[in-house]
Amino acid sequence: MSAKRRRGVRFHGPIVVAISAVSSFLAEALAEAGFLVFHVTSSDEAISYLESRSNIRWLIADLNVRGCFDGAELAHFVEKRWPDIGVVVLGIPVQPILRATRATFISTPCARPVLINRVRARLHFTVFSN
């Protein structure tokens, strides 16, 4: 698990990232935007991290994340156990699997700048509207 934060940038609250293919560039972009990013590699590791910290504001998970839950299952689990944590799920929607959750779904693949801007916009909207 690694934490990234760019110096001199305003910190908005930690985020757990449980992503596969898009993790490194997305984590770096969010760190540059002022978020403290903890990168994990599986749903099991994300859950363990969430259990050990009380200041997590967001979980960003790939739909096909490794571990005991896929991204949709992880979104449902986090929503029930930690209702104050926002969830963003990235992936290719094959069915309406996220309708029963408050999670934000961002369809991929899309251009990297588009993906980064969509995630940052969602996170900033919530951070600055609370």
For the chain, which residues make up each domain, given as ranges? 2-129
Cα separation of 129 and 113, whole Å? Answer: 23
Query: pTM, whole model, 2 decimals?
Result: 0.76
Cα separation of 66 and 122, whole Å? Answer: 24
Task: Please provide the CATH number assigned to the domain covering 2-129.
Answer: 3.40.50.2300
Q: Hey, how many other C-beta atoms are within 10 angstroms of the C-beta on 86?
A: 21
48-80 residue pLDDT tens? 999 998 888 888 888 888 899 988 899 999 999
19-55 residue pLDDT tens? 665 667 777 777 777 778 888 888 999 999 999 988 8
